[in-house]
Amino acid sequence: MSLNVLNWLKEVKSRYVHPNKLAKIGVLGMNERNIAYISRYNPRRLYPLVDDKLQTKEIVLEAGVNAPDLIGTITEQHQVDDLLDIIKNTAGFCIKPAHGSGGKGILVVTGSDDFGYHKANGQILKLADLERHVSNILAGLFSLGGRTDVAIIEALIQFDDCFNGYTFEGVPDTRVIVFKGFPVMAMMRLSTSDSNGKANLHQGAVGVGLDIGNGSAVRAVQFDRPVMLHPDTGRNLLDLQVPHWDQLLHLAASCYEMSGLGYLGTDIVLDSKKGPMLLELNARPGLSIQVANGVGLLPRLKKIESLTNVKKMTLEQRIAFSKEHFSRRS
């Protein structure tokens, strides 16, 4: 066997792990996630509350949770002509589908002038471009199953300067897995040129595992491979420290009572003026957060399931429990 083939086999072997080894370190697989946690703890009748971003926005506003302001919605094609009136007094805004997923169909405008509407990458759009995008949303181009959709226009998040150099064009967000009201694992998703400025790990964004105790970086990956530096900016990812961490955990954990979902993912962004803001909820959060953290979810989930006094614990007590038992420094 040639040396090239041996090197290739060695490279392939380094990329994969035997299922038995994954089980030993407590990695949660898709089947077990779906059966033991999503199906068991998330009533199907509540799915529309998170699958429809407009319904999510309504329950968020009703609960008084900090979230980006809703500027307007467009539900019918004839309302596309009203778009200019909706956005004319707004410096920056975001247009997205109510039933989108994976960041598809999200258009972010950072500002406007006589030349048009500016995107973060420098591209300038005309009003006709925005109207065409809204029409595509209504037609279901970006929605799950191609169903007709609703266009949501939200105020632009003011990117916190503390993350300068950690992201490329897009706004970074923090995904926190919440189980029975306990924040169990967290990561920050940082956009790259590979991900076209979107915080989507499958498209090439960087995932940074975060210590649940203090919000500091513990590990970083891109395309499921460990990295230390941001591929576009060269910033050391292990220096990342998320500010307002206690406030962020409080926001994430409170989504348990707000949504009624026992196992969910919360996506939170940091606004420079308003602090942590809830961006989205997910009733079927992905499993790549385990890769970003280098540890499995199962031991943490099992520990919470073993508790007998969960219903008597306050929000603050649940957060304190998570910080004590799930911190990498505990």
Q: Answer yes or no: is pLDDT of 9 > 90.
A: no
Q: Does domain 25-50+161-326 have CATH number 3.10.180.10?
A: no
Q: How far apart are CA 46 and CA 259, in angstroms?
A: 8
Q: How does pLDDT run across 133-161, given as a tens digit for each residue?
A: 999 999 999 987 778 999 999 998 888 88
Output the pTM of the full model. Answer: 0.90
Looking at the chain, the domain(s) classified CATH 3.30.470.20 span: 25-50+161-326
DSSP assigned state of 146 = G
pLDDT beyond 90 at 175: yes
What pLDDT does residue 189 have?
Answer: 96
CA 219 – CA 205 distance, rounded (Å): 14
pLDDT at position 100 is 85
Domain 69-155 has CATH 3.30.1490: yes
Residues 98-116: tens digit of each pLDDT: 998 777 889 989 888 888 9
Domain limits, CATH 3.30.1490, in the chain: 69-155
CA 238 to chain centre: 20
* Type of residue at 299: P
